[in-house]
């Protein structure tokens, strides 16, 4: 269990990012001037607030079955962190919608109704298994983002990096909470692995499809097909995707637990880097 916060539990920090600053995310292709990479990141950021709210609903559905006081506190920390992630990503997302990224539809009342219908159609254990699997995705991506110098050196707006590093760090802090809640509520290995297998099967088609739709709605991208092809090749051969699928697949091993992947040292490093005495995000805390 990753419990390196001073309280011993994942803790929702009261934090605020400032995307209203003139220099923040005012360049359309805000990740390295790269069209495809920027669309990919915008899509990811657009999907976080509604996705994270679904994660919160999934743990609330089984909350009354959790009796262990430690796990209850960890769940409270998880809920607080995910709610804050959603709120802060919404600020970036507003900016991204202004810049022309077609992500606004992901976070509408209509979309929420659709998500609630899907959640209502599956059992609470399947819903929670979807969250636990999604948390493995975010933990794997977070570890990559926080470990790779190649990723950290990608030029982007400083406030964008601040948001991403903070989010990645907290994803590692709570990476096993939904998993442990699933187990404590009686979730079986069969359900856990079957749900991940289904999600795994659609990962690449969904990523390619969403990215293609996003790019197709960008008039500049439509005029530059060769650039799009070149940048797409670089993205899928680059440090985000290289070797990603085998790492995601580790979750399907029977007996797997998120803490089998030791990220404690990495987490400790970033907790000091961002929120230690001279941490770069101390001035962002409210
Ligand atoms: Fe999150
Ligand atoms: Fe998370």
Cα(253) to centroid of ligand 2, in Å? 21
Summarize the confidence of residues 144-155 as an average pLDDT. 95
Ligand nearest the Cα of residue 168 is 1
**DSSP-based three-state secondary structure for 191:** helix
The tens digit of pLDDT for each residue in 4-37 reads 455 568 989 999 999 876 555 568 999 999 999 9
What is the structure's pLDDT at 43? Answer: 96
pLDDT at 110 over 50: yes
pLDDT at 1 over 70: no
Cα(272) to centroid of ligand 1, in Å? 20
What is the structure's pLDDT at 3? Answer: 44
**Residue 139 burial (10 A CB sphere; 0-12, 13-18, 19+):** buried
Helix (H) or strand (E) holding 184: helix 177-184
**DSSP-based three-state secondary structure for 73:** helix
Residues whose beta carbons lie less than 5 angstroms from ion ligand 1 = 82, 85
Cα(64) to centroid of ligand 1, in Å? 23
Cα(190) to centroid of ligand 1, in Å? 26
Cα(142) to centroid of ligand 1, in Å? 10
Query: Which one, of 34, 193, 62, lies nearest residue 119 by Cα?
Result: 62
pTM: 0.94
The tens digit of pLDDT for each residue in 190-207 reads 999 999 999 999 999 999
């Amino acid at each position: 269990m990753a419990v390196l916060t001073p309280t011993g539990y994942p803790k929702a920090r009261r934090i605020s990012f400032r995307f209203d600053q003139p220099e923040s995310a005012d360049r359309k292709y805000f990740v390295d001037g790269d069209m495809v990479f920027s669309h990919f990141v915008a899509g990811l950021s657009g999907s976080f607030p509604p996705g994270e709210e679904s994660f919160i609903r999934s743990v609330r559905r089984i909350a009354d079955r959790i009796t262990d006081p430690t796990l209850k506190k960890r769940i409270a920390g998880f809920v607080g962190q995910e709610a804050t992630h959603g709120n802060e990503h919404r600020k970036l997302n507003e900016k991204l919608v202004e810049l022309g990224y077609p992500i606004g539809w992901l976070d509408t009342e209509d979309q929420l109704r659709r998500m609630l219908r899907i959640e209502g159609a599956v059992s609470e254990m399947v819903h929670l298994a979807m969250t636990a699997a999604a948390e493995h995705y975010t933990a794997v991506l977070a570890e990559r983002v926080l470990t790779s110098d190649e990723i950290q050196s990608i030029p982007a707006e400083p406030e964008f990096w601040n948001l991403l590093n903070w989010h990645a760090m907290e994803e590692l802090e709570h990476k096993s909470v939904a998993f442990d809640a699933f187990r404590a509520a009686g979730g079986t290995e069969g359900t856990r692995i079957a749900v991940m297998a289904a999600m795994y099967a659609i990962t690449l088609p969904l990523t390619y499809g969403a990215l293609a739709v996003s790019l197709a709605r960008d008039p500049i991208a439509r005029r530059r097909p060769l650039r799009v092809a070149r940048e797409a090749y670089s993205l899928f051969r680059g440090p985000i995707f290289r070797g990603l699928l085998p790492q995601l697949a580790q979750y399907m091993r029977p007996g797997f637990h998120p803490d089998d992947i030791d990220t404690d040292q990495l987490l400790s490093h970033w907790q000091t880097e961002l929120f230690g005495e001279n941490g770069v995000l101390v001035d962002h805390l409210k």
